[in-house]
Amino acid sequence: MQIYTVVAPVFGTNCYVAAADGPMGEQGDRDCVVVDAGAGVAPAVRDLLTDQRLVPRAVLATHGHVDHTWDAAALCAHYDVPMYLHAADAYRLDDPFGTIEPGVTRGAGDSHVSGPLGQALRAAGARPEDYRVPTDVRAVDAGDGGEAAVLDTGAVRLGVLHAPGHTQGSVLYLVGRPGDGAVLTGDVLFAGTIGRTDLPGGDGATMSRTLRDVVGRLDDGWMVLPGHGPATDMRRERRTNPFLAGA
């Protein structure tokens, strides 16, 4: 597998494109999936797919926060592919602002959305009233108790682990295998820290169990590609991340 990164202009969300190795199609193209299509990434992702001769088979989300799903509808429509999201976070697609900013209510066109989210969206030229939900949203199966489920999308095969705490439906995507693969952690695990649990649907006790029973059981050989910030690896996080030590 090859993994490419496109950073969204809103909140610096990392969007990843995981591509199968070697030519797969008659034209020498390769299957891929797009993970966490944050606000403003669609043009750069389309350019990347064209340049690298990649054919997307699905758009995936590590969780339902709008800074990870904003451009999913645009990419799904452009390539006629489904979106995959854990069922526990599906409700967030229909209320993208109220489920990330406490106290925000929906109104006509959502043009009133304020706070850090609204400001960041408008600064990047993304208007809250332009938000759309993909027409084909499918529930991704996720393993529990440390056993990964498998998601097959064309030539791209990923492991999926349920990792609630930041949100109810947060998942980890395993690409490849330890030593030459990566775990896409969304907002569960970052370099040196973890995701917030004080937003709607977050839970500190649940996050602690996820860190102990899911993240804590990952092999040291996994590279960690988080939803924001720099890459790291499990060996480093197990040694230096105070939240993993505490779990």
**Domain boundaries of the chain, sorted by first residue:** 2-246
Identify the pLDDT of residue 97.
82
* Residue with the larger pLDDT of the pair 245 and 113: 245
As given in the structure block, the two tokens for residue 173 are: 């995507």
30-35 sheet: strands from edge to edge: 2-7, 14-19, 30-35, 54-60, 83-85, 137-139
As given in the structure block, the two tokens for residue 30 are: 């390769």
DSSP assignment of 25-58 equals: STTS-EEEEEE---TT-HHHHHHHHHHTTEEEEE
Are 42 and 71 contacting, i.e. CB atoms less than 8 angstroms apart? yes
Identify the pLDDT of residue 232.
97
Q: Tens digits of per-residue pLDDT, 153-196?
A: 888 999 999 999 999 999 999 999 888 899 999 999 999 999 99
Q: Tell me, rounded to whole angstroms, the distance of Cα 12 from its chain centroid.
A: 13
pTM comes to 0.91
188: left (phi over 0), alpha (psi -120 to 50) or beta: alpha
- Please give the Cα distance from 84 to 86 (Å, whole number): 7
Q: Tens digits of per-residue pLDDT, 88-147?
A: 999 999 988 877 765 555 444 444 565 666 676 677 666 777 789 999 999 999 876 668
224: left (phi over 0), alpha (psi -120 to 50) or beta: beta
Choose among 192, 188, 177, 185: nearest CA to 222. 177
3-class DSSP assignment, residue 72: helix
Choose among 35, 67, 31: nearest CA to 49. 31
Q: Using alpha carbons only, what angle is made at residue 42 by residues 64 and 184, rounded to the nearest 5 degrees?
A: 45
Query: How far separated are the first and last CA of the chain, in Å rounded?
Result: 31
Residues 56-65 have a mean pLDDT of 97
3-class DSSP assignment, residue 217: helix
Task: Say which CATH class 2-246 falls into.
Answer: alpha beta
* 3-class SS shares of the chain: helix, strand, coil, % to 5: 30, 25, 45
Q: What is the mean pLDDT of the chain?
A: 89
3-class DSSP assignment, residue 2: strand
- Please give the Cα distance from 204 to 209 (Å, whole number): 9
**Least trusted range by pLDDT, from 112-121, 201-210, 224-233:** 112-121
Are 161 and 64 contacting, i.e. CB atoms less than 8 angstroms apart? no
Which segments of 83-123 does DSSP mark as H helices, in order? Answer: 91-94, 115-123
